[in-house]
Structure formats: C-alpha cells, structure tokens
C-alpha cells in the first residue's frame, strides 16, 4: 500500500488541523533529564517533540500505515514513551549513551502507565533497526553531517514509501537541512510552524547513493606528525584536528620533552574522532589508552582512527556515559576536551559532570589535562572538583590546564 497523500502534501495542510492522540494524556512534566544535569527551567521535552507526535497522529488519521515506527535520537523519552503508552510499537535507536540511560530512567519513572515490555525494541542506528520502517521520527540534529548520514540510512533501508518526520525549533533550523535531506529524498517539505517549532517531511527515497560516511582526512598532529583521522556523521568536528585539542597536544608535548609528563596508561575522555587517544599512543610506544565517548559514532570513529594509524592494539574503545565503567581512584592520567553543548543547548553542566567523573577515577597524584574556551573560566571548578590547577598554555581562544588530584 502506498502512503495516501501525494508527495509534497502534509496532513496538517490537508486537514487544517493536527490530532493530539499521542500527547493529550501523557505526563510530560514527570520526565527528567537525569543522568544529564537539569537546572531550573530545563525540561526533558520541547515543543518540537510535541509537534512531531501530533504530526505523526495526523498521518495516521489520513490513512498512512505507521508501523513499523522507528524513533531516532530521542533524548529523554518524550517521543518514545507517549507512543508506547498509546500502544504503538517503537524501534528506538540512539547515538548517545547518556540519552539511552535517560530514556531507561524515564521509562521506569512513568512505568506503570506505559506498556513497554513487548512494544519497545532498542538497537543501534543502522540497517537492521531501519529495515522496512514505514515511519521514522527524529529531532533534527545540530550537525548537518549527522543528518546526512541518517537520511542516507533511512532512504536505503526503510520501506520505499517511508515518511521521515524531522522536527526542530525554528531558531535551530536552516534551509541547509532541507538541502541535505534532498540528497536522499525526492520530496522535502517544511510544515506549518507551531510554538516556534516545525516538522520537515521527507518522502521518495533516492536509493543507490554512496554512503557519505565514514570520511578520513590527513592531519598534522603536534610533535608526532602526519596521521589519518576518521569520522562518522555524528562525530564532533568530523575528521579534523580541533583547534583546542591542538593547543592541548602542543602543551602536553612540551611537558613530555621537559620530562614532567610520563605515564604508562591514560584515558581519552570524550574521545570524539580519537585524536587524543591516537596522539597518546604515538607519543609513548608502550602506552595503553582507554578512549571513551557516549556517542556510538564517536566510538566507531575513534576505532577507525586507531586502526588507520596502526595503534588499535593499544587503544581500547568503550562507549560509556562519562566514566561509569571505570573504578574510583584507579587512573594516573585523564585527558579531556569537554563539550559545552547538550544537543542544541549550551549547557555548562555537561562539562562539569565530566570533570567530576575525571576527579572520581584519578588516583592520588593523578593528573587531569583539560582544554577549554577561555571565556568559560573553568579554573575554580577544576580546583574545587579535582585539586590544585595550573595553566600551562593559553591563546586567544583556549586555555590548557593541569589539575593534580590529592586524596
Ligand atoms: C569537544 S568534543 C572533543 C572530541 C575529541 N576529544 C577531540 O579532541 O576532538 C567532546 C566529546 O565529549 C563527548 N561527550 C559528551 N558528553 C559525554 C558523556 N556524558 N560521556 C562521554 N562523552 C561525552 C561528545 O560526544 C564529544 O565527542
């Protein structure tokens, strides 16, 4: 059966209204951002989530067969849990391990009102999860590369009549998103706005396009020379050397040469494309590195980077929310270029959590090397959470510090 509306039409425009079957009874206010920090006014859902659900309900009303429904990168369950409550089976795929934990905890929180046991399937974002999907729902990611990768996967592996609904806040959307979706779909239409949010509908899969990711790039790293960096779509900074990381590695190289920095083991916390883990492994021939990131794409990228440069035997890659799988007081060296966003929102709590985790796992005398945007003034935080902190490099944009853990 083909979807009932011709390509280019959306049910809100045809019917003149949206249905609220999935939103009207759901206790959204009970959802929390936990384990991510959630200050006053930070909710675990937004107007784009509600608009996506109402748009989905309206597609159902005009006769589109929703099932199988795939939800991608739901942050805290605000998309998945209302669907389950309404008896709609969901396949859920999430890049972020932090968001995976958040959905699990919210599912427990609203548990008795949600029928999840046989309705929810969770898996990694890939061909198996998307196979045959008729409806795919996702909050628009910040990164166009991430969107490109997802759109390609959906076009290749979902049902040919799939309806892809991608929602976001107007302030975070741009026409470039439509262009990116148009590489994988013949029909890309932005719906009417509501509460400063909008849903883009993509239909008409273009199949056979080569996968846009992973990509690799030759880069010069301080002190160790030319390497190959690799990135999948949702990886911070792509396959490039981040300018903050460059300053961090220059400062670490100076400390290695002056004999003040030696170690046999290190953690690259929030490894992204794996630049820091690679640099550490190239700097010390006997070193073993643990590279961790909450993003599945970052982990795949760090693994490919390590393999491309012949150090995979000494780099262990582990997907983890912060350092939840690492013992307290066990590590001599943690290296961190912390994020300052959660999704589209600038959120200092994200970095604070990672710094606190570094403090937890460092042994007595262990060091945290950290680079941060100078205007963020993390030094008092580092002093408080880790210990004595000194600045070892600074340029117009970034500051590099070393904090020593005392127990
Ligand atoms: C600024 S990027 C740095 C990436 C890489 N280390 C580099 O230097 O290019 C920060 C990284 O932290 C990761 N991250 C964010 N929250 C995290 C968490 N709770 N646990 C682990 N990693 C996290 C992000 O996915 C991102 O890859």
For residue 305, give the CATH number of its domain. Answer: 3.40.50.150
Could you give the number of structural domains in the chain?
Answer: 2
Domain termination site, one of 148, 181, 205: 205
CA distances for 77 relative to 30, 59, 403, angstroms: 11, 21, 37
Residues 201, 140 share a domain: yes
Residues 268, 173 share a domain: no
Decide: 149 in ligand 1 pocket, CB within 6 A.
no
Name the least confident of 10-14, 216-220, 335-339.
10-14
Residues 147, 282 share a domain: no
Put simply, whether the predicted model's pTM sits higher than 0.85 gets the answer: yes
Residues 165, 225 share a domain: no
Whether 1 shows a pLDDT value over 50: the answer reads: no
The pLDDT tens digits of the residues spanning 296-309 come to 999 999 999 999 99
List Cβ<8 Å contacts ≥24 apart for 177-182. Answer: 177/140, 177/144, 177/147, 180/144, 180/147, 180/148, 180/151, 181/147, 181/151
Whether 56 shows a pLDDT value over 60: the answer reads: yes
Q: Is residue 210 a part of any domain in this protein?
A: no
Decide: 350 in ligand 1 pocket, CB within 6 A.
yes
Q: Is residue 255 a part of any domain in this protein?
A: yes
Residues in the chain: 407
Decide: 270 in ligand 1 pocket, CB within 6 A.
yes
Residues 379, 262 share a domain: yes
What are the start-end ranges of the E strands in 144-287?
Answer: 163-169, 185-190, 197-205, 215-221, 225-231, 265-269
CA of 279 to the centre of ligand 1 (A): 16
Domain termination site, one of 205, 236, 271: 205
Residue 187's pLDDT is 98
Protein residue whose Cα sits closest to atom 12 of ligand 1: 270
SS3 (DSSP) at 147: helix
Residue 118's pLDDT is 85
The domain in which residue 253 lies consists of 215-404
Whether 2 shows a pLDDT value over 50: the answer reads: no
Q: Is residue 227 a part of any domain in this protein?
A: yes
Domain termination site, one of 170, 205, 240: 205
Q: Is residue 2 a part of any domain in this protein?
A: no
**Residue 232 · residue 297 · CB < 8 Å:** yes
Mean pLDDT of all residues in the chain?
95
Q: Is residue 92 a part of any domain in this protein?
A: yes
Residues 228, 194 share a domain: no
CA distances for 76 relative to 80, 106, 173, angstroms: 9, 7, 21
Whether 196 shows a pLDDT value over 60: the answer reads: yes
CA of 337 to the centre of ligand 1 (A): 7
**Residue 336 · residue 370 · CB < 8 Å:** yes
Give φ, ψ of 81 to 5 degrees: -65, -40
E strand or H helix at 58: helix 47-61
CA-CA distance, 254 to 257, in Å (whole number)? 5
Q: Is residue 181 a part of any domain in this protein?
A: yes
What's the Rg (C-alpha) of the chain? 22
Q: Is residue 4 a part of any domain in this protein?
A: no
Residues 296, 335 share a domain: yes
Residues 130, 194 share a domain: yes
Q: Is residue 311 a part of any domain in this protein?
A: yes
Residues 390, 313 share a domain: yes
Residues 266, 187 share a domain: no
Residues 360, 342 share a domain: yes
Residues 355, 331 share a domain: yes
């Amino acid at each position: 059966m083909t979807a009932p509306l011709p390509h280019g039409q959306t049910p809100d425009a045809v019917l003149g209204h949206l249905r609220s079957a999935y939103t009207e009874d759901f206790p959204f206010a009970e959802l929390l951002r936990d384990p991510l920090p959630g200050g006053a006014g930070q909710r675990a859902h937004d107007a784009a989530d509600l608009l996506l659900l109402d748009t989905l309900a309206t597609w159902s009303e005009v006769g589109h067969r929703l099932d199988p429904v795939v939800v991608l990168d739901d942050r805290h369950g605000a998309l998945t849990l209302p669907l389950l409550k309404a008896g709609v089976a969901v396949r859920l795929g999430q890049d972020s391990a932090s968001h995976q934990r958040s959905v699990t905890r919210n599912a427990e929180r609203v548990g008795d009102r949600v029928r999840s046991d046989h309705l929810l399937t969770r898996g990694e974002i890939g061909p198996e999860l998307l196979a045959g999907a008729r409806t795919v729902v996702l909050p628009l990611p910040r990164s166009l590369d991430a969107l490109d990768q997802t759109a390609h996967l959906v076009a290749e592996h979902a049902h040919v009549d799939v309806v892809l609904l991608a929602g976001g806040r107007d302030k975070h959307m741009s026409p470039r998103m439509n262009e990116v979706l148009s590489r994988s779909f013949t029909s890309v239409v932005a719906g009417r706005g509501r509460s400063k949010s909008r849903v883009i509908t993509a239909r008409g899969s273009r199949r056979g396009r080569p996968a846009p990711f992973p990509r690799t790039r030759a880069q010069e790293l301080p002190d160790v020379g030319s390497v190959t960096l690799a990135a999948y779509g949702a990886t911070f900074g792509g396959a490039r050397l981040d300018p903050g990381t460059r300053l961090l590695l220059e400062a670490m190289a100076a400390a290695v040469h002056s004999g003040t920095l030696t170690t046999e083991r290190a953690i690259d916390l929030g490894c992204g494309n794996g630049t820091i883990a690679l640099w550490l492994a190239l700097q010390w021939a006997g070193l073993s590195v643990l590279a961790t990131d909450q993003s599945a794409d970052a982990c795949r990228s760090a693994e490919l980077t390590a393999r491309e440069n012949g150090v995979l035997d000494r780099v262990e890659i582990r997907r983890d929310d912060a350092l939840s799988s690492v013992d307290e007081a066990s590590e001599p060296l943690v290296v961190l270029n912390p994020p300052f966003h959660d999704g589209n929102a600038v959120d200092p709590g994200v970095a604070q959590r990672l710094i606190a985790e570094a403090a937890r796992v460092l042994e007595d005398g262990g060091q945290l090397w950290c680079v941060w945007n100078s205007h963020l003034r993390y030094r008092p935080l580092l002093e408080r959470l880790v210990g004595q902190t000194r600045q070892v490099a600074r340029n117009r944009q970034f500051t590099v510090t070393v904090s020593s853990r005392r127990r």
